[in-house]
Amino acid sequence: MKFIKYILVGLLFGIVLTKSEAVSWYRIYEMFHFQSFHMFGIIGTAVFVGVIGLQLFKRSKLKDIDGQPIILADKEKGFTRYLIGGLLFGLGWGLVGTCPGPIFILIGAGFWGIGIVLIGALLGTYLYGLLKNKLPH
C-alpha cells in the first residue's frame, strides 16, 4: 500500500508527458530545430516551478512526509562525465526522440516498437557498468 502514492505520481507524470506530447518524436525533432517554443516552454516552466518550490522547501525548513528534513544531495563535482555522457545521451535522444521516462510511458501507451529502444537502453546501461572503471569521469 505504501507504493500507491508513487504509482499516482507516476500516473500524473505519464498523463502529462503524453498529453503535452513531450513523448512525441516529432516534438523532440521540432525542439532541436528551434521550430516551436513548446518543448522549451515545458522544460523552462518545470525548472521555474522547481527552483521556486525547492527554495520554499529549504527556507521554510519543511519536513518530508516521514518528518525527516528535506535534503537534496549535491551532484558529484566533475566535467568530463557530464559533458561526454550528456552528449552521448543527446545523440540518442535526437535519434529516437525518447528520454528514459517516455520510453516507459510510450510502451504503456501501446507503442510496442519502443520496446526495442528499451532493450537498447538496458544494454547501454549494462555496457556502462562493464566499462565504468575504464572511463574518464
Partner 1 sequence: MDIFYGTWPWYVSGFLIGSVMLLLVYFGKTFGMSSNLRTMCTILGAGKTSDFFRFDWKAQRWNLAVVLGAMLGGFIAVTYLSDPNVPTVMLNPTTVTELQQMHIDAPDGKLIPDALSSADAIQSPKVLAILLIGGLLVGFGTRYAGGCTSGHAITGLSNLQLPSLIAVIGFFIGGLLMSWILLPLILK
Per-position x/- string for 70-99, each x denoting binding to partner 1 as judged by CB under 8 A, each - no binding: x-xxxxxxxx-xxxxxxxxxxxxxxxxxxx
134 binds partner 1 (CB under 8 A): no
The SS3 of residue 12 is helix
Query: Grid coordinates representing 84?
Result: 561526454
Cell of 109: 501507451
The nearest distance, CB 1 to partner 1, in angstroms, is: 11
Subset of 104-123 contacting partner 1 (CB under 8 A) = 104-114, 116-123
Q: Closest approach of Cβ 127 to partner 1, in Å?
A: 6
- CA 34, distance to chain mean position in Å, is 20
CA distance 11 to 13: 5
The continuous run of DSSP H or E covering 18 comes out as helix 4-19
Give the one residue of 1, 35, 59, 134 binding partner 1; rule: CB under 8 A: 35
Q: How far is CA 28 from CA 21, 43, 96, 101, 116, in A?
A: 9, 12, 9, 14, 19
Applying CB under 8 A, which of residues 47, 59, 60, 61 lies at the interface with partner 1? 47
29 binds partner 1 (CB under 8 A): yes
Per-residue DSSP letter, 69: B
Binding-site member from 1, 19, 60, 134 for partner 1 (CB under 8 A): 19
CA 86 to chain CA centroid, nearest Å: 12
> Which residue among 1, 41, 59, 61 contacts partner 1 (CB under 8 A)?
41
* 6 binds partner 1, rule: CB under 8 A: yes
